Structure 1
Amino acid sequence: MERIASPARSRARPPTFLRLPFERDPTARDLVVLGLPYDESGRCPGMRLGPDAVREASALAHVPGADCGPGTFDLVDCVDGGDIDLTPCGSGTVPEVLYTRLSRLLAGNAAVLLLGGGRSLTVAALRAVAERHGPVAFLRLAADPVGPHPQEDFLCRAIEERLVDPSAVVRIGLRGASGRAQGGVMLDVGRFGRLGVRGAAEVVRHRIGRRPVYVSVAVDVADPAFAPGAGTRVPGGLTSREVLGLLRCVGDLCPVGFEVMGVSPPQDLSGITAALASEIGGELIHQYARAQRIPM
Structure 2
Amino acid sequence: MRLPLDQDPTARDLVVLGVPYDDSGRCPGTRLGPGAVRDVSALAHVPGGDRGPGTFDLVDCVDGGDVDLTPWASGAVPEVLYKRLSHLLAGNAAVLLLGGGRSLTVAALRAVAERHGPVALLHLAADPVGSHPQGDFLHQAVEEHLVDPSAVVRIGLRGAGAPGRAQGGVMLDVGRFGRLGVRGAAGVVRHRIGRRPVYVSVAVDVADPAFAPGTGTRVPGGLTSREVLGLLRCVGDLCPVGFEVMGVSPPQDRSGITAALASEIGGELIHQYARAQRIPM
Please indicate the TM-score interval, normalised by the length of the shorter structure: over 0.9
- Change in CA separation of 1:187 and 1:107 when aligned onto 2, cut-off 3 Å: same
1:229 pairs with 2:196:
no
**Aligned with 2:208: secondary structure?**
coil
SS in 1 for 2:51: coil
Offset of 1:59 from its aligned partner? 1.1
Out of 246, 253, 258, the position equivalent to 1:268 is 253
Partner of 2:32: 49
Per the alignment, do residues 165 and 51 of structure 1 end up closer, same or farther by CA in structure 2, a change over 3 Å counting? same
Residues 34, 81 of structure 1: 8 Å contact kept: yes
Matched, 1:93 2:76: yes
- 1:78 corresponds to 2:61: yes
Identity of aligned residues (%): 88
| Partner SS, residue 62 of structure 1 | coil
Partner of 1:145: 128
1:12 equivalent in structure 2: none
Larger radius of gyration: 1
- Structure 1 residue 65: deviation in Å? 1.9
Give the superposition deviation at 1:30: 0.2
- What's the Cα RMSD here? 2.0
Instruction: State the 1:168 CA deviation.
Output: 0.1
Whether the aligned pair in 2 keeps the contact of 1:44 and 1:230 (CA below 8 Å) is: no
Q: What are the superposed Cα offsets for residues 119-140 of structure 1, whole Å, 9 maximum, x if unpaired?
A: 0100000000000000000000
Q: Which runs of 5+ in 1 are unaligned?
A: 1-17
Residue of structure 2 equivalent to 1:59: 42
Match of residue 281 from structure 1: 266
Structure 2 CA distance for aligned equivalents of residues 241 and 98 of structure 1: 31
1:238 and 2:223 matched = yes
List structure 1 runs of 4+ shifted beyond 6 angstroms. Answer: 88-92
Instruction: Note the C-alpha offset of 1:71.
Output: 1.4
Deviation sequence 1:176-219 (CA, Å, 0-9, x none): 23456322000000000000000000000000000000000000
Indicate how the Cα distance of structure 1 residues 90 and 282 shifts in structure 2: closer, same or farther if over 3 A, else same: closer
SS of 2:235 mapped into structure 1: helix
Matches within 5 A, 1:120-159: 120-146=103-129, 150-159=133-142
Query: 2:157 is matched with which residue: 174, 178, 185?
Result: 174
Q: Aligned pairs, how many?
A: 278
Q: Alignment partner of 1:29: what SS?
A: coil
Question: Partner of 1:290 in structure 2?
Answer: 275
Provide TM-score, normalisation by structure 2. 0.94
- In structure 1, how many angstroms separate the alpha carbons of the residues matched to 2:200 and 2:171? 15
Closer/same/farther in 2, CA of residues 148 and 49 from structure 1, 3 Å limit: closer
Match of 1:113 in 2: 96
Q: Shift in Å at residue 294 of structure 1?
A: 6.7
TM-score normalised per structure 1? 0.89
Bigger mean CA deviation after superposition, 211-220 or 170-179: 170-179
SS in 2 for 1:98: helix
**Counterpart secondary structure, 1:220:** helix
Structure-1 separation of matches of 2:10 and 2:72:
26
Contact map agreement 1:47 1:116 (CA 8 A) in 2: yes
Q: CA 1:85 to 1:202, structure 2 compared with 1: closer, same or farther past 3 Å?
A: same
Query: Does 1:25 find its partner at 2:2?
Result: no
Q: Distance in 1 between matches of 2:19 and 2:188?
A: 30
Displacement of 1:64: 1.3
